[in-house]
Amino acid sequence: MRPLALLDSETSRRRLEQICRDRGLDPARVAELVAIVRSQKGKLRRRGLFEQFDELLSEPEKVEP
């Protein structure tokens, strides 16, 4: 599957890190969220999507100051 252009670009990745830091969020988690949604591509019913979100968002946030 094609990489996401925004995540693939160094400049926009840095901007994402800044945005996440400002909100106390872990930027690495964005790529994991994208991977979860992509795993549902082409499915008629996106079964288990929210449970996957539950699992990911239950992990402790790794936020650099």
Partner 1 sequence: MKLAEISLRNWKGYRKASLQFPECSLPGHVVLVSGANGAGKTSLLEAIVLALYGRQGLDLVGRADQSLRPELSYDKFLERALNAAAQGRDARMAVELVFETAEGEVLSLERVWHFAASGKHRPADEEIHIRRGDELVPAALPVGLPGEEAWREVLGQELLPLNLAPFFIFDGENLARSSRSRLEDQLNSASEIILGAPELRGLAADLRTYARDRKKDLRDASEVSLQDAQDEIAHLELEESRLVAKADRTMHRLGPLRARRDALVKRIGALHGDSYSSFKTLFEEREIQIKMRSADQDELRKALSVDLALALSGKRLIASSRARLEAEALLAQWENGQENNRARFDAFIAYIGDDGGQPLDPTFEGRLEAAWQASWANAPEGAATETRHAHLGDADRLLVLKQLDAVSGLAGDQVSALARRVAELDREIEKIELRIATQRGLDGQAQALADELREAQEDLAKEESDHRIDTEALDAVRLRLSPLRHDIGLRTNHVQAMEPVKRRAALAEGYASALTLWVEEALPQHLDDLTVRVTDAHHAMAHKKLMRSIVVRGDGIELLGSDDRNLLTVDFSAGEGQVLSLSLMAAIAASFPCFPIVMDTPFARLDPEHRRNVLQHFSQIGVQVLLLAHPGEIDRALLDGLGDRFAGQIDVTHEMEATGVGLTRIGQFEARQHGS
User: Looking at beta carbons only, is 34 or 64 nearer to partner 1?
Assistant: 34
2 binds partner 1 (CB under 8 A): yes
Q: Which residues contact 43 (CB under 8 A, 6 or more apart)?
A: none
User: Looking at beta carbons only, is 58 or 65 nearer to partner 1?
Assistant: 58
- Interface residues with partner 1 (CB under 8 A) are 1-2, 4-7, 12, 15-16, 19-20, 23-25, 29-30, 33-34, 37-38, 41-45, 47-50, 53-54, 57-58, 61
